[in-house]
Structure 1
Amino acid sequence: MKKDKIYCFIDRIKFIFKLIKDLKLSLLIVCLFLCVINVILPYITMINTQEIINRIQIGLSIRLILKRLIIFLILGILYIISSNLYNFLILKYKEYLYLELNKKFLDNSLKFNLKDFENPEVYNIIQRAEQEIGIRPYNIIISLLSIISQSVNLISAFLILTKWHLTLIIGFILLASFASKYFISISKNEYDILMNRTNYERKSWYISHLLIKDEYIKEVRLFGLSKYLIQQFIELRSRFFKENVDVLKRQYIFSEIYQLMNYVISFFIIFLAIYESTQGIILVGTAMTYINTSSKIENAIQNIVSNIFGIYKDSLYIDNIKKYFNYESNKFYGNKTLKNITTIEFVNVSFKYPNREVYAIRNTSFKIKKGEILAIVGENGSGKTTIIKLLNGLYDEYEGNILINGIEIREIDKKSLRNCLATLFQDYNKYQFTIKENIGFGSIDNLDDIEKIKYSAKKGGADQFINCLPNNYTQQVGYWFEGGTQLSGGQWQKLGLSRLFMKNADCLILDEPTASLDPFSELEIFKQLYQNSNEKINIIITHRFINTVFANKIIVLKNGEIIEKGKHDELLKQDGFYKDMFDIQSRGITLN
């Protein structure tokens, strides 16, 4: 390997040890000790066996032979105990490592912001790291253990053969050196193939998801998309199949040639040992030791070379894990703690999403204070939800100022900000958990407060259908897990609203909160909002203009800009866009 490759290789190994340094190293050291013992014991057994056979050949007393046989028995028992203990402990370490590294992986995911999750390259970084985190570190550790133990194996074998013919060792070493360059080439080629297919891997996963998950399957079947999607999946996986077979073919051909050459060298040693034993130069037991030792050298060198380049190959994938853990999200880390919210103000705020040229909102200004209800209306894509995302601190790279109690939002600690906000987006989560958890997630610290959960369910209009379920608040919902029952769109939305009310926040933000509700349920929800309006700030995004009647302030968005402001009656008198939209909804659909 060239210098830069060696440096990168060492750097990756250092990163792995940094990642696992606090993960039961004592257990790993015990495994290393057992690993070495499991190499040394067969050599001691082999030398002991040599002495037994030689003593039989030269006719020594049976008592001396029996002592050697007892030693043989003890060594065998020790080896069985040691090897089985090693297998148990190393598998235990594997499970522990998998658990702890995945915990670290998930903990690290918290540093990514919403902007990152809208970047395909970030998805690639995450997926590659997720694929490798449970495999590569363990593979490297096992390979390192194997290299250490096989090095002990090789040294022991060399010490035995140097007493016979030192030059025999040279053939194995030259062969291993010759193989190294080709091992690197194969490993690099496999890595490049897998790296270049990450996007397609995600696409094949997505297609599979569409075909087997209940949230998609209805539309897929109704539109007859199954065959098309299956064909798309087959085309992608067929490409992967061809690439994988090509890699395996190269590996197989080289491995076969390498093993054949190794075998030829071993055969020569066996031939020489048999020849010298027939000529009386060495005893039969000694000849058997040399034959077995040559086989051990062959296996040791193969294992060392294979593991070195296995580590090299695995270390290439470590870059994926390293890139994930070292990824720096562009975040503003505010340190001002927010205890409550009394005013919210946007001052000439403009924002465009990453990799887009058009502004989602431009020069947006408004102010709302405690006790007021703000309704935001406009066509699809006019910037309504973008305002809510910015208010929740999901994006920081905007122009202008967003002020909470007069403090720029970027200066506020995000956790304290979100503790004061309760937001229900239009694409809210439908958690495949119990009813209790679906509501309790709104205030995770009160997840076991069943009275508060029931009170929130009543405010969200979910209590009536919950009481009709077989297991009430412990009922599993969704079809993903055993015992689940599916809910209607309106019932899911009521759970989402109940989750919102569960959070005792100063500002309630609802993005199309009643889109799936019937008119009676919708009326009850807005009653709840208006009853609590003196205590909180309420912000409602809606397409239903009947819901804006009681709002203290209404802003009308079009193409990312505020085109009208005022109360319901004031906007009707302006005879503008708001009135046109209100009239259309009031009249309903007509054919003329």
Structure 2
Amino acid sequence: MILATQIVVNNVVLSWNEGFSQVIYALSVLGGVMIFNETCSILRVYVEKIFETALSYHVDILVMKKAAVLHLRDFENHEVQDQIKRVQNESKFRIYDVFKQVMAVFSGFITLLSSVSILFFWHWWAAVMILVVPVLFFPLFLRLGQKEFLYLWQRAPKMREAWYISYIMTRDFSFKEIKLYQLGAYLIRKYQEIHNRFISQDKEVAAQRRTLSFLYQIINYAVVLTIIYFILKAAYFKQILIGNMVSYLQAISLTLSTVQSLTQGLLLLCQHNLFLEQLFSYLDMKTESKQQMDLPRRKLQHPISHIEFRQIRFRYPQTDHYALDGISFQLKTGETLAIVGPNGSGKSTLIKILTQMYTDFEGEYRINGISVKEYDPDEINRRIGSVFQDFVKYEMPLRQNIGFGDLQKMNDDISLLTAAEKAGLHPLLQSLPDKMETQLGKLFQGGYQLSGGQWQRVAISRAYVRDADIYILDEPSSFLDPQAEHEVFRKFKDLVRNRIGIFISHRLSSARYADKIIVLDRGRIVEMGSHDELMKQNQLYAEMFTKQASSYVNHNFTSVPDRRVQIGRGTDGLLGNQPGSC
């Protein structure tokens, strides 16, 4: 464009002597350059828009695929959570910015070389002088950019805290407590404190950039004005043509803007690359030890008929004590195991080992006589149906909420209805406006909110839809009333008649449904046996059961002394002679 403008100006002057054809020629050159330039711009916008969308989705998929192969211990690690937050906040968007900046820098260098060349062919010293100041100031701007990145890097934990405050302030599950306890003002103040600290850091960096930029501009424009002085002087003494003077002035202007954008682009590129380190560090995160990867992966040729724990020990990262310490037991098809114990005794941790949420344990976990580490983990997981204590309430239609237990049965209405029936969900299903297609939760339009007990039955249905060899329930009655609890355990007992059943319950009345009871305390098995055997031993289990029974009797039957005495008599305790009869 600069050279085309030079031709136009010089040819207009020549046309005064040589005719109007010079103007037509100059106009043709200028028009051709303008059309080419505009065509490139249109194509660039087209390509950038498509590439930006495709790249963003691609990075999203990479992040989710990585999350799918991480272990539970990774998600419970605050450093990993900080890394994921950085990736979600910055990296997946900045990866496109890197592409754009690389192309901008490449284009900028071509433009800079072209514009400086125009000055170089006039006087080489002019080209050198116009580049000296930017080159000298670039390291200073780079250091400032690194400082800004460091601030942003250190923000990740507080950014997660601010996100969480915003999350609980805008969700229905937390609204009632925030309203009742008048937490709104306090939480908003905490949110403001975090962001005020961020703003203070941003002001510090902005002030330093302002001072540095002001100094840079003063020195740079002093150099530029000196060069312009010599250009104007040369034109005044007719040492150069008017068109050349215009092109030199345009070259200076273009060089200034290009140097500024290049400097800024290189600084941004450095920052973007620092952020991209987080993305690649996350994607390269170690998920399995080399030793585990080298082990042969067996396929289960037969259903799981026997599981065994041999001296299993496990401790959480960055802790000294063992959450499980020397756990040993066996279970075979047709047996039901209840795991009980005080809070923090290791019950949920044991379930996480059973479901391979944690794999870095000591001791041996055997399935059908073979170490679980020799099997394909996905193969084992397909044979287990589990309801965790912190089960997920999927804000999706009921079909997905149940069908997630076995994706192959997502459209099999008979299997879904059978699972719902086994979990006692049939009455609710009949009352829903769109039956299986009813949207659950209030996050999306047309959602139908369930009670805690109804959500729990949905989670149990999700486990039951899977034709599993092992069924595991972690506190399956925490949201259920006694009658519903009795129904759930009765159907669970029928379900696992030819399978292995395991459940955790703080309500010791439920433990009577199990053939075998394990009592945990501080990560150790302190008792093992049936309900009657443990009551006869008169140790921790009998103490906990008696306290629960007496508490229930004293609070509910004080006005009926005869009934209280009858229920409290003997080892039948809380439930009388039949499970659930209370």
State TM-score, norm by structure 1.
Answer: 0.89
Deviations 1:321-348 (A, max 9, x none): 2221222135434512234210111112
Correspondence for 2:251 among 293, 298, 309: 293
**1-structure distance, mates of 2:411, 2:553:** 47
Letter in 2 for 1:485: Y
Residue 68 (structure 1) shift: 2.3
Tell me if 1:336 matches 2:336: no
Deviations 1:48-90 (A, max 9, x none): 433444334x533112312322332343233222212212211
> Which region of structure 1 is more displaced relative to structure 2, 536-545 or 490-499?
536-545
Correspondence for 1:590 among 543, 554, 558: 554
Contact (CA 8 Å) 2:94, 2:272: kept in 1 or not? yes
Contact (CA 8 Å) 2:98, 2:269: kept in 1 or not? yes
Residue 445 (structure 1) shift: 2.6
Query: What stretches of structure 1 of length at least 5 have no aligned partner?
Result: 1-41
Relative distance call for 1:211 and 1:589 in structure 2 (3 A) is farther
> What residue is the counterpart of 2:564 in the other structure?
none
**2-structure distance, mates of 1:533, 1:80:** 72
Q: Helix, strand or coil: the match of 2:18?
A: coil
Correspondence for 1:100 among 49, 54, 58: 58
After the TM superposition, which residues 254-333 of structure 1 pair with which residues of structure 2 at under 5 Å, given as runs? 254-331=212-289, 332-333=292-293
> What residue is the counterpart of 2:577 in the other structure?
none
Query: What stretches of structure 2 of length at least 5 have no aligned partner?
Result: 559-582
> What residue is the counterpart of 1:571 in the other structure?
534
**2-structure distance, mates of 1:533, 1:469:** 29
Relative distance call for 1:107 and 1:48 in structure 2 (3 A) is farther
Letter in 2 for 1:336: R
Correspondence for 2:380 among 407, 417, 420: 417
> What residue is the counterpart of 2:568 in the other structure?
none
Deviations 1:256-295 (A, max 9, x none): 3323433333333333333322322222222111111111
Letter in 2 for 1:314: H
Relative distance call for 1:350 and 1:88 in structure 2 (3 A) is same
> What residue is the counterpart of 1:177 in the other structure?
135
**2-structure distance, mates of 1:369, 1:269:** 91
Aligned length: 550
> What residue is the counterpart of 1:55 in the other structure?
14
Q: Helix, strand or coil: the match of 1:362?
A: strand
Letter in 2 for 1:272: F
Tell me if 1:148 matches 2:106: yes
Tell me if 1:132 matches 2:117: no
> What residue is the counterpart of 1:21 in the other structure?
none
Contact (CA 8 Å) 1:269, 1:291: kept in 2 or not? no
After the TM superposition, which residues 442-591 of structure 1 pair with which residues of structure 2 at under 5 Å, given as runs? 442-587=405-550, 588=552, 590=554
After the TM superposition, which residues 61-80 of structure 1 pair with which residues of structure 2 at under 5 Å, given as runs? 61-80=19-38
> What residue is the counterpart of 2:398 in the other structure?
435
Deviations 1:352-375 (A, max 9, x none): 212222222222211110011111
**2-structure distance, mates of 1:514, 1:93:** 50
Contact (CA 8 Å) 2:71, 2:287: kept in 1 or not? yes
Contact (CA 8 Å) 1:143, 1:310: kept in 2 or not? yes
Contact (CA 8 Å) 2:7, 2:243: kept in 1 or not? no
**2-structure distance, mates of 1:43, 1:450:** 72
Correspondence for 1:167 among 125, 138, 156: 125
> What residue is the counterpart of 2:566 in the other structure?
none
Percent identity of equivalent pairs = 30
After the TM superposition, which residues 28-47 of structure 1 pair with which residues of structure 2 at under 5 Å, given as runs? 42-47=1-6
Contact (CA 8 Å) 2:62, 2:283: kept in 1 or not? no
> What residue is the counterpart of 2:147 in the other structure?
189
Deviations 1:370-398 (A, max 9, x none): 01111111121111111111111111222
Contact (CA 8 Å) 2:365, 2:372: kept in 1 or not? yes
Letter in 1 for 2:149: Y
Runs of 4+ in structure 1 off by over 4 angstroms are none
**1-structure distance, mates of 2:553, 2:144:** 66
Q: Helix, strand or coil: the match of 2:331?
A: strand
Letter in 2 for 1:364: I
Q: Helix, strand or coil: the match of 1:564?
A: strand
> What residue is the counterpart of 1:4 in the other structure?
none
Relative distance call for 1:104 and 1:44 in structure 2 (3 A) is farther
> What residue is the counterpart of 1:35 in the other structure?
none
> Which region of structure 1 is more displaced relative to structure 2, 573-582 or 91-100?
573-582
Deviations 1:100-143 (A, max 9, x none): 11211221223321111221111122222222322332222222
Letter in 1 for 2:262: I
Deviations 1:304-328 (A, max 9, x none): 2222222222222222222212221
Letter in 1 for 2:100: I
Contact (CA 8 Å) 2:9, 2:243: kept in 1 or not? yes
Relative distance call for 1:282 and 1:54 in structure 2 (3 A) is farther
**1-structure distance, mates of 2:308, 2:55:** 48
Residue 44 (structure 1) shift: 4.8
Q: Helix, strand or coil: the match of 1:328?
A: coil
> What residue is the counterpart of 2:353 in the other structure?
390
> Which region of structure 1 is more displaced relative to structure 2, 46-55 or 313-322?
46-55
**2-structure distance, mates of 1:350, 1:60:** 98
Contact (CA 8 Å) 1:54, 1:283: kept in 2 or not? no
After the TM superposition, which residues 203-242 of structure 1 pair with which residues of structure 2 at under 5 Å, given as runs? 203-242=161-200
Structural RMSD (CA): 1.9
Residue 450 (structure 1) shift: 2.6
Correspondence for 2:116 among 128, 141, 158: 158
Q: Helix, strand or coil: the match of 1:556?
A: strand
> Which region of structure 1 is more displaced relative to structure 2, 239-248 or 130-139?
130-139
> What residue is the counterpart of 2:364 in the other structure?
401
**2-structure distance, mates of 1:499, 1:406:** 29
**1-structure distance, mates of 2:413, 2:91:** 38
Q: Helix, strand or coil: the match of 1:297?
A: helix
Relative distance call for 1:163 and 1:360 in structure 2 (3 A) is closer
